[in-house]
């Protein structure tokens, strides 16, 4: 399984009691940010743009910028995307680094 590094951000304004997950950069309004590693589900892949940005590719071949598809739900990182028919949310396994 592929893994992607990101941040667990705490104390984000208006989300003080929630953990907000981000990819590539810490949240600008977080009081504290910890580096984490998130495990993508089987079949999902990580790629890189020519400019160095991270992309995530679904098993069906759809590609999104990582910061647009990784979100937060119930204090866990999730893959949150719309496949053209309905929305999906897949909870990711994560660990502090």
Model confidence pLDDT, tens digit, residues 13-56: 888 889 999 999 999 999 999 999 999 999 999 999 999 899 99
Confidence of residue 83 (pLDDT cuts 50, 70, 90): confident
Q: Which two tokens stand for residue 18?
A: 């929630």
Q: How far apart are CA 26 and CA 87, in angstroms?
A: 26
- Tell me the whole-structure pTM to 2 decimals: 0.90
Confidence of residue 84 (pLDDT cuts 50, 70, 90): confident
DSSP conformational letter for 75:
T
Q: How far apart are CA 62 and CA 13, in angstroms?
A: 32
- 3 state SS of 11: coil
pLDDT tens-digit profile of 36-47?
Answer: 999 999 999 999
Contact in structure between 67 and 20 (CB atoms under 8 Å):
no
């Amino acid at each position: 399984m592929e893994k992607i590094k990101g941040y667990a951000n705490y104390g984000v304004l208006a989300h003080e009691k929630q953990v907000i997950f981000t990819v590539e950069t810490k949240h600008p309004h977080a009081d504290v940010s910890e580096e984490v590693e998130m495990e993508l589900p089987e079949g999902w892949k990580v790629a890189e743009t020519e400019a160095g940005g991270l992309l995530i590719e679904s098993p069906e071949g759809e590609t999104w910028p990582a910061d647009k598809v990784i979100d937060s739900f119930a204090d866990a990182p999730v893959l949150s995307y719309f496949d053209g028919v309905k929305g999906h949310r897949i909870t990711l396994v994560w660990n502090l680094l």
